[in-house]
Structure 1
Amino acid sequence: MNFSILISLYYKENPKFLDQCFESIWDSQMTKPTEIVLVLDGPIGEELTACVQKWQSKIGSPLKVVPLPQNVGLGKALNEGLKQCSYNWVFRMDTDDICTSDRFEKQIKFIEQNPNVVLFGGQILEFDQNISDADVLKAVPTTYEQIKKFAQNRCPFNHMTVAYKRDVILSLGGYQHHLFMEDYNLWLRVIGNDYQVANLPDVLLYARVGNGMHARRKGFQYIKSEKQLLDLKKQLKIQSPFYANMYFIVRSTFRLMPANLLGKIYNTFLRKKVEKTE
């Protein structure tokens, strides 16, 4: 099956992380992608340019680089990349994450067995600096009904694991401006238009989450984004106005908490520690 990988690269990325990302989607992958569309979201500097050129030389024509003259943000960059994807099935990936070696093989098999599904992802294990420390599971529901219910309160997909049909995403307007939540916004529009969605129960990716990233997701900018989310839920009738307003208040309250407390809540209640197997 032919499919495209869609990646957006920003100048602040660590070249070492980008290198590990490419290794996981090309060198270590049991089923290699037909095409990799790498959007350069503005100028990326000498070190990252050298890393990209190294992989262009190694991969050849399957790696399509799409440079943008200036930084436009993740959502707009991905929209530009979608226009350049040659195949209808598009798999997302972030530049600092690492795929499992069987990620694409598992997702292709799922596509072949579930022709009505237009969007699906999988589970991720989070790590700080070293992949050997990946022991925190960010779990998402797997069935259509579970995902619809989960989406009322939280983002139901791990964005960096998703695969979706390009034509469906473009027909819904692609990624739209929604500060910090472009992906959640898009998933709600897919679900709200009654398309079939799912998640695999398998871990498909190791996600880098160092430097207290989750604890920094606070402040009035995030509350404005929560209000936009509230309005979208009402518009799509994803959730009743009463519960939508209630969850807006709850989510906004979290955004005002001190960073250390928010981090503790996030790690205690929204993530699951898993035991390592030797």
Structure 2
Amino acid sequence: MTSRKEFDVSIIMSVYDESEQLIFESVRSMINQTFSRFEFIIVNDNPESKRINNILNRISNLDTRIKVLTNETNIGLAKSLNKAITASKFDYIARMDADDISLKDRLEKQVHAFKINDNLDIVGTDYALIGEQGEAIEQKHFLAISDLDIKEYLQFDSPICHPSVMMKKSKYLELGCYNPLPSAQDYDLWVRANKNGMTFYNIPEVLIHYRVRSDGISHTNLLRQFLCTEYSRKKLASSENFVLEELKDYLEDNGANDSTKVDNFKKDTRVFLKFLHNIKSTSSIKPFIQTLLNLAVNAPFRRWLKNWFRLFLLRRKLAQSSLT
């Protein structure tokens, strides 16, 4: 493969219950890209929904590059993405979510990154958070840009915006694609890519708008999300491989299916983060002290807090390095 090679991209997306407006906005942001050499594979993971079927039937007529695959039943995000990867015909896979918006030159800039450095395997970008109505919230600029910094960051959290990623198809297949985790499927993939010596890069530019929804999994399953990432981190530090039944036991043993423990974890993490945000306000001290007392009984929160402080120190180091 040389820098003069023509690049073709397969965009993959899974649709479940997103609104018509969000799906159309997302799809149009991709078919209007400045880079045009792509196919767009959309997986319908809600085949029982007449509304979703109708939306995707109309979307399939928007552009000849769009191909809709309909699952026989709901199989979840990971398996739907794997189905799209298997059906794809090009060497580069670009992720997209059905409620996000890519800037028009996203694909062009990612392809350019691969053209100038064919050693790259996974290329992400910075992103901007938007609300459910498209209102701007804030821009997110990753401190981890280089392969080395990204791999160091992966010891604590994901420094990669999943729907922004473009990745070599051969590397997806080498890893066996996505594992069927209930959440944090992307972090698990990056951990395995790291263990297999793959090369990362983050384009230091906002190229996607990431929508924050009130019913998003990152808001409703904070404990499960943390435990899935924690499980993946344990695998990163060992020579062991992912085992689905082992993960299920890990989630059960740590309270992911206990509504009280889930609520307590969510409350404790939010009180802690709110205290940091309002650190000069005396009104936030009392609930913060109570949260610290909860460390004795909330073991997952205790581990989350320990990981947070380690990540905080790493972010400070990366920020200082960027200034030198």
- TM-score interval for Structure 1 and Structure 2 normalised by the shorter chain: 0.7 to 0.9
Q: Is the 1:8–1:40 Cα contact (8 Å) retained in structure 2?
A: yes
SS in 1 for 2:104: coil
* Further displaced range: 72-81 or 44-53: 44-53
In the aligned structure 1, how far is the partner of 2:219 from the partner of 2:212? 11
2:34 aligns with: 30
Please identify which structure carries the higher helix content.
2
Q: Per-residue deviation at 1:45?
A: 2.2
Q: Is the 2:157–2:229 Cα contact (8 Å) retained in structure 1?
A: no
SS in 1 for 2:61: helix
Task: State yes or no: 1:4 paired with 2:13.
Answer: no
With the length of structure 1 as denominator, give the TM-score of the two structures: 0.81
Q: CA RMSD in A?
A: 2.8
Q: Which runs of 5+ in 1 are unaligned?
A: 238-248, 271-278
Q: Which has the larger radius of gyration?
A: 2
In the aligned structure 1, how far is the partner of 2:277 from the partner of 2:206? 18
1:261 aligns with: 271
The 1:138–1:84 alpha-carbon spacing in structure 2 relative to 1, beyond 3 Å, is same
Q: Which runs of 5+ in 2 are unaligned?
A: 1-6, 241-253, 255-260, 279-307, 312-324
SS in 2 for 1:142: coil
Task: State yes or no: 1:206 paired with 2:214.
Answer: no
Q: How does 1:192-231 map to 2 (within 5 A)?
A: 192-211=195-214, 213=216, 214-219=218-223, 221-222=224-225, 224-231=227-234
Q: Per-residue deviation at 1:107?
A: 0.8
The 1:51–1:196 alpha-carbon spacing in structure 2 relative to 1, beyond 3 Å, is same
1:82 aligns with: 85
C-alpha deviations, 1:166-187, integer Å up to 9, x for none?
1111111110122211111111
In the aligned structure 2, how far is the partner of 1:5 from the partner of 1:46? 24
Aligned residue pairs, count: 253
Q: Is the 1:122–1:158 Cα contact (8 Å) retained in structure 2?
A: yes
In the aligned structure 2, how far is the partner of 1:265 from the partner of 1:46? 45
With the length of structure 2 as denominator, give the TM-score of the two structures: 0.71
Q: Higher relative contact order at CA 8 Å, sep ≥6: structure 1 or structure 2?
A: 1
Q: Per-residue deviation at 1:15?
A: 1.1
Q: Is the 1:215–1:263 Cα contact (8 Å) retained in structure 2?
A: no
Q: How does 1:64-143 map to 2 (within 5 A)?
A: 64-137=67-140, 139=142, 141-143=144-146
In the aligned structure 1, how far is the partner of 2:239 from the partner of 2:264? 24
In the aligned structure 2, how far is the partner of 1:120 from the partner of 1:151? 15
